[in-house]
Amino acid sequence: MSRGRLPHVPQAAFPDEGLHEERHRDGSLRARGPVAGGQPHGYWEWFRLDGTLLRSGTFDAGRQTGEWTTYDRSGAPYKTTTFG
């Protein structure tokens, strides 16, 4: 499996704890997931401008872990990337 690349988000953009959401320029949801200790932690999702799910996976203290899935525009999984 290949390693995927996620959009960069500056560390300062995360709250210390809670749910973090990012928006596209048009205001639609771009990314959503929990933060713990100022880092992504838990299940996250990224969305396209049209609102369809683009990618999902889990963080552990800011590091991608486990299986991440990339979806096509119809919502069907088309690529899986595994992180150690």
Domain positions in the chain are 39-84
Q: Which residue has the higher pLDDT, 44 or 15?
A: 44
Positive or negative, the CA dihedral 18, 16, 36, 47 is positive
Provide mean pLDDT across the span 13-17: 80
pLDDT value of residue 2: 43
Q: What is the pLDDT of residues 34-66, one digit of tens each?
A: 999 999 999 999 999 999 999 999 999 999 999
Model-wide pTM > 0.75: yes
How much of the chain exceeds pLDDT 90, in percent?
79
And the tokens for 9? 């988000």
